[in-house]
Structure 1
């Protein structure tokens, strides 16, 4: 039997890994167990079995949100079971909502947030 992929994780370059991790914790409910390096420069965030890694950039010019290269492109996209409920949670937590919720022509109810470094993250629920 062949090996299986079990999870994946986007990796974002950020200006300040501690501030960015705390923002994802406070505004979007992600958690982390520890920072790596001294001073801290890397962290693995998790929520609901999903992961996001943050690496502190050596230089801010290396942080390139994908929407700045290609119109309306996310840096990461998470599939969710209830986009409306997650959107309401994020609004209550103070996340910067980039757009939505809205129904897309590709069959998703989705919204997007923007983090401290300008990365866009989409959250979409497949409509049946």
Structure 2
């Protein structure tokens, strides 16, 4: 018998306004809307997808958390895009706030986007 395999993972990020965040991820980062639960409101739970990978966001009932507040320089999540130059051009053209330009590290190249809620997305190739 083969051991079970993970088929995917979806980070759940707390945001101030799920509707605004959903629009940003669709319009700037190219994600597609899966849906809102229970409805389309600022405190809703929203699911988005791009290329088979999901991100989930839940509207906050209080303060937001950012990883950088607990450990300086740490992104809230990392995404891997082998075509990093093309993705950089795509999101830059749509107004993404680039916090760090593409740089080379020992493990590859990366850049950092700050989303509409102040979360940092580290994009690596």
TM-score normalised to the size of structure 2?
A: 0.92
| Residues 65 and 4 (structure 1), Cα distance of their counterparts in 2 relative to 1, 3 Å cut | same
**Number of residues paired by the alignment?**
122
| Residues 113 and 47 (structure 1), Cα distance of their counterparts in 2 relative to 1, 3 Å cut | same
Which residue does the alignment assign to 1:50?
53
Q: CA deviation at 1:39?
A: 5.3
The separation in 2 between residues aligned to 1:39 and 1:77, in whole angstroms, is 27
Q: Which runs of 4+ in 1 moved over 4 A?
A: none
Q: CA deviation at 1:38?
A: 3.8
Q: CA deviation at 1:33?
A: 2.5
The separation in 2 between residues aligned to 1:80 and 1:109, in whole angstroms, is 10
Give the 5 Å matches for 1:1-128.
1-38=2-39, 40=41, 41-59=44-62, 61=63, 63-105=64-106, 107-125=107-125
Long gaps (5+) in structure 1: none
**CA RMSD of superposed structures (Å):** 1.1
Indicate the SS of the match to 1:28.
coil
Indicate the SS of the match to 2:46.
strand
The separation in 1 between residues aligned to 2:9 and 2:101, in whole angstroms, is 25
The separation in 2 between residues aligned to 1:23 and 1:78, in whole angstroms, is 17
